Amino acid sequence: MPMTDAVRDDGVRRVAVSRAAADLELRRAEFDLAVHLGILRVGTRRNGGRVTVRQEEIDRLRAEDGFPDTLRERVRTVGTAEGAQLLGISPVRFTRLARAGCVTPVAFYLNRYRAVVWLYLAQELAGLAARSPELLVGISPPWMRSRLDGGTDCRPRNWRSRRIERLLSLTGDPWARAAVIAEALDPVQLAEVVDDPYERAYFGRVRPEPVFGQRGSVAGREAMARLMLADEPDEILWRRVTLGMELDSARELRQAPRPGEEHLMTGEEDLTGPSAVEPADARADGPALGHVPALPVEQGGPGEASAERPDPVGEGAVSGLLARLRLRRPRGTGRARRTAPPRGKRFAADPRTRHSVPHADQGSNR
């Protein structure tokens, strides 16, 4: 049965993501960013169904004044060079503003050298120029010089905080909220706060998944995972305290399941934006939005990375292991072990000629 661009579910007309992006006159990376920022709501089935968009959501955005230019401007991102040009300053000064935390990245991508390139919302840069014009000219204020002289770079931390706050706004479940915060702690820090391995494993099952799946290159997903980790003492302490508070609320609501207990989630839900959008643009490593994601890696476009999250080992796995151990033969029984061939060139039988020919990995003596 052929797949169509439009479907009806409970009387609600829904369209596929590609069709929705075309109707809104957005490139795919712009569409992903619109979902991440909450400009556009999407629906997704948890049981593997494809992502869809309500037709009324598309009609609402198309009815806004100035469509499509106003919508495109809301999701337009710029890098350092274009951002500096927009503010009328040098790229060096723009970088200093970003490192000092005056502007917050919304996504990133990896360039050909696998270096992180940050992207910023053009609208937010315009807001900075109107709000703090003194930062664009003259001598930098003392607080900025102090940060920069100390080697501070606020870009990863600000991007991380922005992403976490966005994900927290999409769910009210304490376990899912705790799972989002837990992503900012490395395994050692996490184990100190959450000493129950079943609870840590449960985080992997309830953590919001990327609406559009794991996208982008392996390098981009690895970069996303690294950037998600808090790396300053005060931020680590804050994440630990916040995680402890969310975990207390989660335990009061329900306990993390033990092996054999299943909690299946079904049905379709509408989201303000993806739990983690990891868009990829036309570049090899597209932008990551931060869970994401990963960047999935930004433009080349926005993008974000995620590690596999193992589930607790079930009782069936344990019993299967015991059965294999019981069936293992003691040494000295069964067929005799084959002796290794004499050292030197190895040979394999050719079924066509019944002669011995050298293996391909051995090469030729000629």
Pick 167 or 92 by higher pLDDT. Answer: 92
Check if the beta carbon of residue 303 is closer than 8 Å to that of residue 294: yes
Over residues 311-336, the mean pLDDT reads: 42
Q: What is the pLDDT of residues 230-284, one digit of tens each?
A: 999 999 999 999 999 999 999 999 999 988 775 544 334 455 443 333 433 334 3
CA dihedral 28, 30, 31, 34 (to 10 degrees): 160
Is the per-residue pLDDT at 2 higher than 60?
no
Is the per-residue pLDDT at 184 higher than 70?
yes
DSSP 360: G
What tokens were used for 238?
């804050």
Is the per-residue pLDDT at 352 higher than 70?
no
Pick 42 or 247 by higher pLDDT. Answer: 247
Of 40-44, 88-92, 113-117, 182-186, least confident by mean pLDDT is 40-44
Check if the beta carbon of residue 271 is closer than 8 Å to that of residue 197: no
CA–CA gap between residue 275 and residue 171 (Å, rounded) = 8
pLDDT at 158: 96
Pick 358 or 233 by higher pLDDT. Answer: 233
Check if the beta carbon of residue 207 is closer than 8 Å to that of residue 225: no
Average model confidence (pLDDT) across the chain: 76
pLDDT at 311: 40
Strands (E), 204-363: 268-271, 347-349, 356-358
CA–CA gap between residue 92 and residue 136 (Å, rounded) = 11
Top mean pLDDT of 16-20, 39-43, 331-335 is at 16-20
| End-to-end CA gap in the chain | 58
pLDDT at 241: 97
Sign of the alpha-carbon dihedral angle for 140, 142, 143, 144: positive
Q: Report the SS3 class of residue 64.
A: coil
Pick 209 or 96 by higher pLDDT. Answer: 96
Residues of the chain above pLDDT 70, percent: 64
pLDDT at 171: 86
What tokens were used for 122?
């053009």
Q: What is the pLDDT of residues 72-118, one digit of tens each?
A: 999 999 999 999 999 999 999 999 999 999 999 999 999 999 999 99
Is the per-residue pLDDT at 304 higher than 90?
no
- How sure is the predictor about 323, in pLDDT bands with cuts at 50, 70 and 90? very low
The overall pTM is greater than 0.75: no
